[in-house]
Amino acid sequence: MSADYPILYSFRRCPYAMRARMGLWVSGTLCRLREVKLSDKPEALLTASPKATVPVLVLPDGTVIDQSLDIACWALGRYDPEDWLDYPPEADALIARNDGAFKHHLDCWKYHARYPGEDPDLHRASALEIVQDLDARLAAKGGALCGARRTWPDIAIFPFIRQFARHDQSWFDAQPLTLLHRWLADLVASPLFAAIMQKYPVWQDGDGEAIFGQTGQTAPAGL
């Protein structure tokens, strides 16, 4: 019954929410999805997590998980059919760099009006250096960040590279990033990404809740 499912507060275009949804989807975790409008956040979200950012997962026992990495790793810890968590621990540094330096440079470029005194072109160049390093890693590892197949670092980083590319697509497409262009295109075109990017109506307190997850997947019973 849906009452036994966790509640997921999400925003479709948020890269943090994207990676959480990918982890939940692959793990076969069904959720009561509440798509929120960030400019008009529902009171239930603010009550669950005063930090008021998405994603937020509320388990049936009331436990709140309000960091995207923690949500995905909780889900994959229950069921990880593609062995996403089977990657070398040193690759955690890639995720940390993505969430730290890369996200900072991306924000200072994309939302430069919020950062007076910062040079957006310099931040774009700094972000590009990180992307170039990822391209070299893809070549060295065989097509994905930790080998020949995608694992959690690919999934965790991908939504932010997509955001970087989309801000100036023609400029990005002109960069000599052969392996990374292919890596990004494959993830964007994947059935997984199409599934987690379905559109849902905005949830208002008590209205518009949807069931999220692949119902044909087999996940462990209970939470």
Could you tell me the domains of the chain?
2-82+194-212 (3.40.30.10), 89-190 (1.20.1050.10)
Q: In the prediction, which pLDDT does 220 show?
A: 52
Q: How far is CA 177 from CA 39, 43, 97, 173, 213, in A?
A: 36, 44, 19, 8, 33
Mean residue pLDDT of the chain comes to: 94
Comparing C-alpha atoms, which of 196, 191, 192 is closest to residue 210?
196
Cβ atoms within 10 Å, residue 41: 15
pLDDT digits (tens, 9 = 90+) for 154-190: 999 999 999 999 999 999 999 999 999 999 999 999 9
Per-residue pLDDT of the chain (223 residues; tens, 9 = 90+): 477 999 999 999 999 999 999 999 999 999 999 999 999 999 999 999 999 999 999 999 999 999 999 999 999 999 999 999 999 999 999 999 999 999 999 999 999 999 999 999 999 999 999 999 999 999 999 999 999 999 999 999 999 999 999 999 999 999 999 999 999 999 999 999 999 999 999 998 777 799 999 875 545 555 4
pLDDT for 216 equals 57
Q: Where are the beta strands (DSSP E) in the chain?
A: 7-10, 31-35, 56-58, 64-65, 210-212
SS3 content of the chain, % helix, strand, coil (to 5): 55, 10, 35
Task: Answer for the pair 5, 190: CB distance below 8 angstroms, yes or no.
Answer: no
pLDDT of residue 35: 96
The per-residue b/e assignment along 50-85, b for 16 or more CB within 10 angstroms, e otherwise, is: eeebbbbbbeeeeeebbbbbebbbbbbeeebeeebe
State residue 219's pLDDT score: 52
Specify the pLDDT at position 208: 78
Whether the CB-CB separation of 56 and 8 falls below 8 Å is answered with yes
Q: What is the pLDDT of residues 201-213, one digit of tens each?
A: 999 877 779 999 9
Q: Sign of the C-alpha dihedral, residues 79, 82, 88, 91?
A: negative
